Amino acid sequence: MQHQTKLRAAMLAAIFLLALAGSNLSAVEASSRGDEMLADYFRAETAALADRCLSDIKTLDQWRAKRLEYRHQLQEMLGLWPMPERTDLKPVITGRVELAEFTVENLYFEASPLLYVTANLYLPKGLKAPAPAILYVCGHSQQITNNVSFGNKTGYQHHGEWFARNGYVCLVVDSLQLGEIPGLHHGTHHLGLWWWNARGYTPAGVEAWFGIRALDYLCSRPEVDPERIGLTGRSGGGSYSWTIAALDDRVKVAAPVAGITDLQNQVVDGVVAGHCDCMFFVNTYRWDFPQLAALIAPRPLLIGNTDKDKIFPLDGVVRLHKKTRKIYALYGAADQLGLLITEGPHQDTQDLQVPVLRWFNRFLKGEEPLIEMAAKKLLEREQLKVFESLPADAVNSRIQESFVPQAKPTRPPITSGAGGQSSASLRAALRERTFAGWPSETNALKLELQGQCENFGVRMNAYAFQSQPYVNLWLYVFGRTKGKKSDAVTLVVLDEEHWKDCRTTFAPWLGSGEQGLSRELLPSIPGGSRLDDLRREVEAGKLTLALFAPRGIGPTAWTAEEKQRTNMRRRFMLLGQTLDGMRVWDIRRAVQATRAIQESKAGPLNVEAGGQMGVNALYASLFERGVSRLELKQLPGSHTEGPDYLNVLQVLDIPQALQLAAEGAELDLQ
């Protein structure tokens, strides 16, 4: 244990300078190279998912065979599988507003126990028979005065009023974040709640559930014809329109506005930066968005957008429409799919509103009258408020903690009996639901020696290898210059903190540079006793030391600007990955590379890491054979503290992962 402590200290002294020596890059240049690598990676991964999207569907029978499976996958990715129980809505009407042409009922219901939905129901006057109905789901409109929220339904009231004045029953529902009862949409956007990924939680799932229960409420009203229900909304409401219509066939006609584009826009072009988490499902099955749109076929669908929308760019909308049209064509229903493009920015314009009403008139009423009426706000916000005081028992603000069921802790030993899960089944579940973003095929390492230097009987070899296409990483191996192979190999996995420490705290410990390594970057300094101990350990053949930093750290570091780094992590999410999940893959590849190097083939392979990187090393050992010992320091107790892997808490947590690892490797936890 003593020599390992010394080893780690000495390792930190060497790694940064040697990395720059091997790559011949300044810190700024290294960051630029890291950004370039990441951009290439995102382009390649996005293109692969785009090419795969619906590509295997050639006939209507093939689509029908896949459709229920895709709907099930969507339910999973929204946290709606198993579907929550449809408990009593307990609807309460708290007030009414009477106008000449319609009545407004201010109401709430419970989507699930104590999960409140506030809404306004617009009822045309003089109905003689059940009427067609519109569910209107709201986008982001902050309607707050003196810390009191009137709900975004009041910002979109003109839509409800307009539909009612044209003979529709219209239910306008508040969303989770900007309703009368505050909730959260921005967990990973800027609040740092990365554990949402680990839980498999997205507020898009709550919004979809709100919509499904709103349909339940509409169908319970005698004024509504349940066979003639339409669905629309814009921006965030446009996004929820897609998921609600895809999941619920009671939606007969849909007209989402400015609520969807494709992965090319979101990931490569970076428009994910303009969106909060409510816009996206947890992409476990690695979809591109046309796959979601296709689930609405063959029902009438109008896709609306403006030509200068910066967060839903037109080119992506057109690409999505083209792929969706393929499925409509298989049904012989191309006339049921419309693409509405108007001039303007991301804004609720009359040019978008009028064609939407025409669409519903055509398919819900069988009429196409001239639209002569403008959508205007006719009421004060106070008239549409539901609650005088908010319910103290509401779970809206903390629904992220309970909405998605989590795996129950498994006590050791992990077995297949007594309701437990086998080690193999847990690994399989992790591979399918958590690490599906790993490459399906393992490409060649392309391991190449990039440089070498020697001092005091110790040789440092700097290697480059390919973790996966466009992800090229560095491995630094310290071994004796000659003689027998070492007794053991230790792979040390660096996190960002330790990488920075070695830049500022320690100095390089090797002398002259040779074979491509910069002499200026390796000045000679006195060793000191700790470094002498390490040198003697390596020189005596007691160990070979391999140092490794996964993607985004050290030689492949990317931008240090926090907002940009956040959005980079969110791009991984949209690809059905997480940054840490892919670092687990990098560590697997580093283990393979270490084993492949001639000087490290003999002896047991030990892996050392700490903190969240220690958890990454832990999971790598579950899938990579040949790790004899894991020395893990200061691990978090749960994935709620990190690192974030998609859906991992639906499978297991860190204590159970340690149980699995102990089946194949000796554990040393510090």
Residue 254 lies in a domain: yes
What pLDDT digit, counting tens, does each position of 455-465 carry? Answer: 667 788 889 99
Instruction: Name residues whose C-beta falls within 8 Å of residue 231's C-beta, 6 or more positions apart in sequence.
Output: 134, 135, 137, 211, 241, 244, 245, 251, 253, 254, 255, 256
Q: Is 251 helix (H, G, I), strand (E, B) or coil?
A: coil
| CATH code, domain with 248 | 3.40.50.1820
Q: How many domains does the chain have?
A: 2
pLDDT (average), residues 354-362? 98
Residue 649: closest CA among 498, 436, 429, 437: 429
Question: Residue 23's pLDDT is what?
Answer: 40
Distances from the Cα of 512 to the Cα of 20, 41, 503, 530, 536, angstroms: 15, 36, 19, 20, 19
Of 8-17, 309-318, 380-389, the one with minimum mean pLDDT is: 8-17
Q: Are residues 111 and 46 in the same domain?
A: no
Q: Are residues 349 and 485 in the same domain?
A: no
Residue 226: closest CA among 213, 234, 217, 238: 217
Q: Are residues 91 and 46 in the same domain?
A: no
d(Cα 344, Cα 353) in Å, to the nearest integer? 13
The pair of three-digit structure tokens given for residue 575, joined into one six-digit string: 């690809």
Residue 20 lies in a domain: yes
Question: Residue 501's pLDDT is what?
Answer: 55
Residue 571 lies in a domain: no
Provide the pLDDT confidence category of residue 21 given band limits of 50, 70 and 90.
Answer: very low
d(Cα 177, Cα 182) in Å, to the nearest integer? 5
| CATH code, domain with 539 | 3.40.50
Question: Residue 500's pLDDT is what?
Answer: 65
Largest distance between two CA atoms of the chain: 98
Distances from the Cα of 596 to the Cα of 48, 449, 463, 601, angstroms: 29, 12, 11, 7
pLDDT of 4 higher than 70: no
Q: Are residues 536 and 612 in the same domain?
A: yes
Residue 511 lies in a domain: no
- The pTM of this model reads 0.92
Residue 442 lies in a domain: no
Domain's final residue, options 373, 401, 429: 401
Q: What is the average pLDDT value for the chain, to the nearest integer?
A: 89
pLDDT of 417 higher than 50: no
Q: Are residues 480 and 544 in the same domain?
A: yes
Residue 517 lies in a domain: no
pLDDT of 1 higher than 50: no
Question: Residue 486's pLDDT is what?
Answer: 77
The one-character DSSP state at 407 is P
Residue 659 lies in a domain: yes
Its domain, for residue 615, covers 2-50+455-506+532-561+580-669
Q: Are residues 298 and 360 in the same domain?
A: yes
pLDDT of 532 higher than 80: no
CB 378 within 8 A of CB 161: yes
CB 312 within 8 A of CB 324: no
The DSSP bridge partners found for residue 478 are: 460, 545
Of 8-22, 108-122, 572-586, 600-614, the one with minimum mean pLDDT is: 8-22
CB 290 within 8 A of CB 320: yes
The pair of three-digit structure tokens given for residue 289, joined into one six-digit string: 């968005």
DSSP H helical ranges for 512-561: 529-539
- Helix, strand, coil percentages (3-state) for the chain, rounded to 5, are 40, 20, 40
What pLDDT digit, counting tens, does each position of 93-118 carry? Answer: 999 999 999 999 999 999 999 999 99
Domain's final residue, options 401, 425, 442: 401
Domain's final residue, options 401, 436, 465: 401
CB 324 within 8 A of CB 290: yes
- Containing 499, the helix (H) or strand (E) segment is helix 496-504
d(Cα 451, Cα 321) in Å, to the nearest integer? 51
Q: Are residues 480 and 543 in the same domain?
A: yes
Provide the pLDDT confidence category of residue 642 given band limits of 50, 70 and 90.
Answer: very high
Indicate the residue type of 239. Answer: S
Provide the pLDDT confidence category of residue 150 given band limits of 50, 70 and 90.
Answer: very high
Instruction: Name residues whose C-beta falls within 8 Å of residue 31's C-beta, 6 or more positions apart in sequence.
Output: 557, 558, 559, 560
Q: Are residues 282 and 333 in the same domain?
A: yes
d(Cα 144, Cα 177) in Å, to the nearest integer? 12
The separation between the first and the last C-alpha atoms of the chain, rounded to the nearest angstrom, is 11
d(Cα 515, Cα 377) in Å, to the nearest integer? 75
Residue 12 lies in a domain: yes
DSSP state string for 335-391 = GGEEEEEESSSSS--HHHHHHHHHHHIIIIIS------------S-GGGG---SS--
Q: Are residues 288 and 221 in the same domain?
A: yes
Q: Are residues 45 and 89 in the same domain?
A: no
pLDDT of 518 higher than 50: no
What pLDDT digit, counting tens, does each position of 31-71 carry? Answer: 678 999 999 999 999 999 999 999 999 999 999 999 999 99
The pair of three-digit structure tokens given for residue 278, joined into one six-digit string: 């409510």
What pLDDT digit, counting tens, does each position of 214-270 carry? Answer: 999 999 999 999 999 999 999 999 999 999 999 999 999 999 999 999 999 999 999
Q: How far, rounded to the nearest angstrom, does the alpha carbon of residue 101 sit from its chain's CA centroid?
A: 45
Q: Are residues 497 and 351 in the same domain?
A: no
E strands in 470-620: 471-480, 489-493, 544-548, 605-610
Provide the pLDDT confidence category of residue 133 given band limits of 50, 70 and 90.
Answer: very high
d(Cα 365, Cα 163) in Å, to the nearest integer? 13
CB 567 within 8 A of CB 558: no
The DSSP bridge partners found for residue 215 are: none
Cβ-based neighbour number of residue 25 at 10 Å: 16
Q: Are residues 21 and 114 in the same domain?
A: no
Q: Is 306 helix (H, G, I), strand (E, B) or coil?
A: strand
DSSP H helical ranges for 157-235: 157-165, 195-199, 203-220
Residue 606: closest CA among 489, 495, 480, 494: 489
Percent of the chain with pLDDT over 90: 78
